[in-house]
Amino acid sequence: MNLITVSGSPHLHGDLSVKKIMWGVVFAMLPAMLVSIWYFGISALTTTAVAVATCVAAEYLMKKYLLNEDPSVSDGSAIITGMLLSFNVPSSLPWWQTVLGSIFAIGVAKIAFGGLGKNLFNPALVGRIFLLISFPVNMTTWPVPLSNRWVLVDALTGPTPLGRLKEGLANGETLTALKAQLPAYQDMFMGQHGGSLGEVSAVAIILGGLYMLYRGIITWHIPAAYLLTVAAFTGILYMIDPTHFIDPIFHLLAGGLMLGAFFMATDMVTSPMSHKGMLVFGVGCGLLTVSIRNWGVYPEGVSFAILIMNAFVPLINKGFKPKRFGEVAHG
């Protein structure tokens, strides 16, 4: 018989592990993945594959040679970063730009801070912003869905709903005229409109989000706070001036909001720890997103909103602590 073990209590462990959580998230992203391949064809698949492969390789090499730690990538977090990064770029992005974005996301946003669990900003979003600023043309060229699905290079491109909206309003077009040109709600719900790989299909993302809620991987606090804030803020604006502000349903379905609310803002490492803090985080993201969409330079505000709120997370954690048992009331 081997030596008996001595350790501190507890002597039991639940069956939760980082691996299980990460692979659960990957599974939740599959609907959006499949929809994107359906609408954008092979280039969607290749973009995702390149992003994932680069992220995994980058993490492995950087962990081994830069951090000098055990270069295990089996926890799945690099795969998630790769998938989320590819979901945030158009399927027509040149492969070498995807590679650069992945290396930047893993290297600067994750490894430079110390590896898993130590980063302040969401790595996929940091990668996306890097690409947006470095290659603005490629990053704002959106392939039209269901066209050129079997070829790697897309010829037909068009604007995203939000892009068209901003452009139209700036040109002085009226909202009612614009609305006729923008995709119908069903199309936006299903995904048949221009946009990044993963953000187009609201239904696929919601399915994934519900799966994660069911498995207990995420809680309802951040998505609910984020989406409700966007709906409320845009709703108020719409009621004040329906000729300049489009209705809340459009805002909820357009752009990367669904993807952001369910997959990006809920990233555990970069979001608050207490439920109260999560609600504050969601509200902040919502307010910033709507502000950037309506009054900012960019048509889409989700990435920036989430990154800005990421910076506030340590402060939120400090300010919104959970209610203690037997807390003695002051004063």
Residues that bind another protein (CB under 8 A): 1-14, 16-18, 20-21, 75, 114-118, 268-275, 321-328
Nearest in space to 308 (alpha carbons), one of 278, 275, 285, 287: 285
Instruction: Tell me how far, at minimum, the Cβ of 38 lies from another protein, in Å.
Output: 33
Cβ proximity to another protein: between 152 and 269 the closer is: 269
Instruction: Tell me how far, at minimum, the Cβ of 24 lies from another protein, in Å.
Output: 11
Instruction: Tell me how far, at minimum, the Cβ of 232 lies from another protein, in Å.
Output: 26
Cβ proximity to another protein: between 45 and 269 the closer is: 269
Nearest in space to 313 (alpha carbons), one of 283, 277, 289: 277
Instruction: Tell me how far, at minimum, the Cβ of 274 lies from another protein, in Å.
Output: 6
Three-state SS for 227-276 is: HHHHHHHHHHHHHHCCCCCCCHHHHHHCCCHHHHHHHHCCCHHHCCCCHH
- Tell me if 97 sits within 8 A of 138, measured CB to CB: yes
Instruction: Give Cα separations from 91 to 25, 145, 236, 248, 300 (angstroms).
Output: 21, 10, 35, 27, 17
Cβ proximity to another protein: between 11 and 331 the closer is: 11
Instruction: Tell me how far, at minimum, the Cβ of 118 lies from another protein, in Å.
Output: 7
Cβ proximity to another protein: between 244 and 321 the closer is: 321
Instruction: Tell me how far, at minimum, the Cβ of 103 lies from another protein, in Å.
Output: 21
Tell me, what DSSP letter sits at residue 224?
H
Which tokens sit at 81?
Answer: 């970063």
Tell how far CA 293 is from the center of its chain: 16
Cβ proximity to another protein: between 39 and 281 the closer is: 281
Cβ proximity to another protein: between 326 and 331 the closer is: 326
